[in-house]
Amino acid sequence: MSDAFILEPVADRAALRHPCLRLLFDAWLAATLPGQNLPCIDDLLPPAQAVAADHLWWLERVPGGGPSDFIGRGFGRQTVANYGIDPTGRHINDYARQPVFGRILRVLTTVTAAQQPHRFAADQSVMSNGALHDVEALALPVAGPDGAFWGVLGATRAREL
């Protein structure tokens, strides 16, 4: 990779390097019912867990909150290990001083504004252990049971360089 940080829309699974992320993108497409723009989190979560398991994460946008006000709702074991924290049930803004959360908030606000899938890639890491990683993530917008935007579900794959 030539850039330290890439954040770009994803319209085709071929844009994703990691097979797990391709399968997650497929699950998102399959869960999007005809006539809807976004799948419901309740419909997407089971197939997402089946293909991304420990690498999965999902965050709910706080109703009435600002564009970057999210609460962590679930984090796979590998995601928690990668970042060294488990923000389940916590406001993401509580972690704003940690370097990685600047990027995470940028991903969340971009996906919220565009309401389309985005790929994040980096050849550097600000993960808690300080090791250099090759990182690729997929961030997907999801709706709540009422069909309105609910939050962002995604998965991160990281390997040490």
The residue type of 124 is: Q
Residue 146 CA, distance from chain mean position: 21
Instruction: Enter the pTM of the model.
Output: 0.90
CA 94/CA 107 separation, integer angstroms? 17
In the chain, % of residues over pLDDT 90: 63
Phi and psi at 49, nearest 5°, equal -65, -35
| pLDDT at residue 99, as a whole number | 67
Six token digits for residue 127? 């993960």
User: Looking at the predicted structure, is the pLDDT value of residue 2 above 50?
Assistant: no
Q: What angle do CA 22, 52, 25 make, to 5 degrees?
A: 30
For 42-76, write each residue's pLDDT tens digit.
Answer: 999 999 999 999 999 999 999 887 767 899 999 99
| pLDDT at residue 57, as a whole number | 95
User: Looking at the predicted structure, is the pLDDT value of residue 1 above 50?
Assistant: no
User: Nearest-CA neighbor of 57 among 42, 37, 73?
Assistant: 73
User: Looking at the predicted structure, is the pLDDT value of residue 107 above 70?
Assistant: yes
Pick the CATH number of 6-160 from 3.30.450.20, 3.10.580.10, 3.40.50.620, 3.90.1310.10: 3.30.450.20
User: Looking at the predicted structure, is the pLDDT value of residue 126 above 60?
Assistant: no
| pLDDT at residue 104, as a whole number | 82
| pLDDT at residue 39, as a whole number | 98
User: Looking at the predicted structure, is the pLDDT value of residue 11 above 70?
Assistant: yes
